[in-house]
Amino acid sequence: MTFLLPVLLAGALLWIPGLVLLLAAGVRSRLWWGAAPALTVTAGAALATVLHLLGVRWSALSTALALALLALALWGARRLLVRRRGAVAGAAPEGPGPSRRLAGLSALTVGGNVLLGLGVVASASRRMGGLDTLNGSYDAFYHLSAVAFLREGGDAFAWAALQGIYGEPTYYPVAFDALAALLPWDPVVSTNALMLACLASLPGAVAAMVAALVPDPVRARLLALCAAGAATLFLSTAAMGLVMGLWPIVLGTVCLPPAVAAVLRVRSRREGGRRGDVLAAVLLMGAAGLAHPSVLFSAAVVAGCVLIGHGIVALQRGRRRHAAKLLGVAAAGAAVYLLGSALTLGDMDLTRRSGLGAGELLWQILADSPRIPAVGAPFWPLAVVWPLAVLGAVTAVRRREAPMVSAAVALVASLVLGLVTDLYGPLATALVNPWYGARERIAPLMMCLLVVLMARGLAALLDGHPRLPRLAAPAAVALLGVTVVAGLAVPGRLPLLGSLAYTAYGVQLAPYVTPQERAFIERTAQELPADAVVLADPRDGATLYWSLGGVGTVYPTMASPITVDQRLIGRYVTDLDDRRLVCGALARERPTHLYRDTSQHAGWRLDAEASAPWEGVRGVPDHQLTLVDRDGPYALYEFTPPC
C-alpha cells in the first residue's frame, strides 16, 4: 500500500481538530500551530467522555459532529466576550496582521516543516515493506488489539475503552488508539500511518516551541526552521515508534514541545507574567499527560527546573530571599515527587539495566542513541547541536535570561535522569519510575531542551561577537543543514530503524508472527463462526485472531493473564484436581477453538519463562482437539472442554 495518502489523512486527523478549535477560540500566538496536536488529544479525551455518557458510539461521524459543536461553542463564547469587553480576545502580539515579509517567512517555515516531516516519513519507511506490514514488537500487538476493542465497543472513554483487555473498568491512556480507530483501514495500516504521521509532525511541534520563546518575529521564524531540522537528528522517538511499538509515547512526544515552551514562558507578575501563560502551561501539560502520563512527568521536570532557573537568576540579581523561596518550593516538590513515586509507582520499574559503564552510557545519552544494539552511537548527527546549545546556555547565564537558564537546568536534569536509569537502589528507582526506568522515554525531554538552547546559541551568533568571525552564524546554519540532509539519508539511521521490527527480523527482534503465520491466521479467522473464541498462548501470535480477524480470544494481548479466569485456564486447563474453578472459568470464557504454533518462533521457544503462564494451554491432550486447518507448523483445532 502506498504511504502518502494514509499518512496524510492520519496527519490531518492529528492536526486539523486542534487547528479548528484554536481558530474558533481566536488564539493568535506563535505557540498556537504547534499546539494543535496537543489540543486534538485534549478534545478527543473530552469528546470521548461526553459520547460515553450519552451512549453514542465513538466513530468518525459522531466525533466530527461533536467537534463541530465544540468549535461552534468556542466561537460563540469568544464572540460573547468580544461584545462584553469591546476588544478582540487573544489579539496577536505582533500587531493587527503580519507584514508581507513575515507572511513570506511564515510560509517558508511551514513549508520547511512539511518537507522535513515528509523526509522523515520517506526515510523511515524506506525499508518498512509497506503500511500493511506488521510491526513485530511486543507493544504493537497490544495496541492492535486495543484499536480492535475501540472499534468493536465504540467507546473511547479512558476508563472503559479496554475492559475487554482488563476485565473491569481500568484507566489506560487510549489517545493514540482512539485516533487510530477513526481511520478507515485495518488496525495495522491505521496504526502504522498514525505513527508515521506523529514522527512527521515532530519537526513542526519543535519549531513552534522555539518560535514561542523568541520575541523577535523574524528571528523566531528563522530559528524555528533550524529547530525543525535539528529535531530530525534525534533517534529515540523514532526508535520508540518504529522498533518498540511505544506509540502513545510517540504521540505524547509530539505534545511535549509546546508544553515545554508554555512552561518556560511562565514567570511572576513582577517580571511581566500573565495568567494566560499559566493557563496555557497547565492545559498543554495536561494534553501531554492524556497522550501518556510519562510525558506529563517530563513536562513536570521542566516546571520544577523553572523554579530553579528563576531562583538562580534571582541570586544573580541579589534577590536572595526570593531565590530561597523558589529553591525551597522546588526542593519540596522534588521530595513530594520522590515519596509519591516510591509509594505509588513502584511496579513501573520494568526496564533491565544495560550494564554499560558510566562513560559509555553517558556517550549514548549525549548522542541520543536508543537501547538498540544494531544502532550505533555516532556523535556526528549532534556535533553541531551540542556546541550551539552550550553557547546558548552560557549566553543565557551571562545575560540572566531566566527561561533559558531554566532550560539549561532542565537539560542537566534530563541527563541525570538518563544516567539514573542504569542504577540500582530505591532512590534511583523512585526517580525514574514514571518513565518505566527506560532512558528512551526520557530522551524526548533532552531533545526539546537541547534544541531550545541550540536556538539560543544561534541567536547569540546572529547578535555577533568580537571574538567570532562575521560568518559564524551562516556557517553554523549551513553545517546544521548538511547534517540534517545526511541524517535523513544515511541508511544506518531511520531506514535501519524502519526495518528492524518490520522486515529485518533477526537483527534486533525475533518475529512473534511470520508472514506465513499471519496469512494462516487471517484466512482461518474468516472461516470461523461468529461466536468462536480462540484459546492459545498469545505469544504464538494468536492475538491477531482478534485484532485482524475479529474473532474473540481468551488472551487478546501478550501480557501475563490479567483476570482470575485467564490465570486458571492458562495454567490448569488440563488439571483435573480442582475441576469446579477451572470449569467455571471455561464456562465464562467459552473457548471453542485452540491454536498452536510449533515453529521455531513459537512463544515458548523465544522465551520459555514469559510463556510459562500458558503451559496448561500448550498441554491440552489430543483427544480434546479436532483438526480444522493446518499449514506447516501452524494449526487450528476445535476444542472440547474437559468439563
Residue the block writes with cell 492475538: 543
Of 553, 554, 572, nearest in space to 613 by CA:
572
Average pLDDT estimate for 333-350: 89
Task: List b or e across 548-574, with b for residues whose CB sees 16 or more CB atoms inside 10 angstroms.
Answer: bbebbbbbbbbbebbbebbebbbbbbe
**Half-sphere exposure for 460 (CA within 13 Å, toward CB):** 25
pLDDT for residue 178 is more than 60: yes
* DSSP single-letter state for residue 374: T
DSSP reduced 3-state for 420: helix
CB of 299 closer than 8 Å to CB of 285: yes
Average pLDDT, the chain: 92
- Counted residue by residue, the chain has a size of 643
Q: Give the lowest-confidence range in 15-29, 94-108, 338-352, 417-431.
A: 94-108
CB of 257 closer than 8 Å to CB of 227: no
Per residue, the 3-state secondary structure of 302-328, as one string, reads HHHHHHHHHHHHHHHCCCHHHHHHHHH
Sequence-distant (≥ 6) Cβ neighbours of residue 577 within 8 angstroms? none
CB of 429 closer than 8 Å to CB of 379: no
Write down the pLDDT at residue 90.
46
Write down the pLDDT at residue 91.
42
pLDDT for residue 96 is more than 60: no
pTM, to two decimals: 0.94
pLDDT for residue 620 is more than 80: yes
Write down the pLDDT at residue 138.
94
pLDDT for residue 99 is more than 80: no
Evaluated on CA atoms 44, 28, 445, 433, the torsion sign reads negative
CB of 419 closer than 8 Å to CB of 362: yes
Q: Could you give the CA distance from residue 608 to residue 595 in angstroms, rounded to a whole number?
A: 18
pLDDT for residue 468 is more than 80: no
Write down the pLDDT at residue 259.
96
pLDDT for residue 643 is more than 90: no
Q: Could you give the CA distance from residue 590 to residue 360 in angstroms, rounded to a whole number?
A: 52
Q: Greater confidence, 641 or 194? A: 194
Write down the pLDDT at residue 94.
43
* Residue extents of the structural domains in the chain: 3-82+106-501, 515-639
CA distances from 118 to 4, 33, 111, 209, 395 (A): 9, 18, 11, 20, 34
Write down the pLDDT at residue 348.
84
Q: pLDDT for 420-466, tens place per residue?
A: 999 999 999 999 999 999 999 999 999 999 999 999 999 999 987 76
Q: Greater confidence, 606 or 256? A: 256
Q: Letter for the amino acid at 614? A: W
Kindly state the cell numbers that stand for 489: 539519508
pLDDT for residue 256 is more than 80: yes
Write down the pLDDT at residue 125.
94
Instruction: Return the percentage of the chain with pLDDT > 70, whole number.
Output: 96
Q: Could you give the CA distance from residue 39 to residue 445 in angstroms, rounded to a whole number?
A: 20
One-character DSSP codes across 213-278: H-SSHHHHHHHHHHHHHHHTT--HHHHHHHTS--HHHHHHHHHHHHHHHHHHH---GGGT--HHHH
Write down the pLDDT at residue 186.
95
CA 483 to chain centre: 25
CA distances from 71 to 16, 183, 231, 379 (A): 12, 21, 31, 46
Write down the pLDDT at residue 277.
86
Q: Could you give the CA distance from residue 62 to residue 79 in angstroms, rounded to a whole number?
A: 26
Instruction: Return the percentage of the chain with pLDDT > 90, whole number.
Output: 79
pLDDT for residue 25 is more than 90: no
Continuous H helices in 154-235: 163-166, 175-182, 187-213, 217-231
Average pLDDT estimate for 457-486: 89
Write down the pLDDT at residue 511.
85
CA distances from 30 to 21, 95, 210, 220 (A): 15, 12, 9, 9
Average pLDDT estimate for 35-57: 96
Q: Could you give the CA distance from residue 399 to residue 567 in angstroms, rounded to a whole number?
A: 62
CA 189 to chain centre: 18
Write down the pLDDT at residue 214.
93
CB of 416 closer than 8 Å to CB of 432: no
Q: Letter for the amino acid at 162? A: L
Task: List b or e across 370-391, with b for residues whose CB sees 16 or more CB atoms inside 10 angstroms.
Answer: bbbeebeeeeebbebbbebbbb
pLDDT for residue 270 is more than 90: no
CB of 415 closer than 8 Å to CB of 431: no
Write down the pLDDT at residue 577.
61
Q: Give the lowest-confidence range in 192-201, 352-361, 552-561, 612-621.
A: 352-361
Write down the pLDDT at residue 93.
46
Edge to edge, the sheet with strand 593-597 lists 552-553, 533-535, 593-597, 634-639, 625-631
**Per-residue confidence at 88, pLDDT binned at 50, 70, 90?**
very low
Write down the pLDDT at residue 80.
87
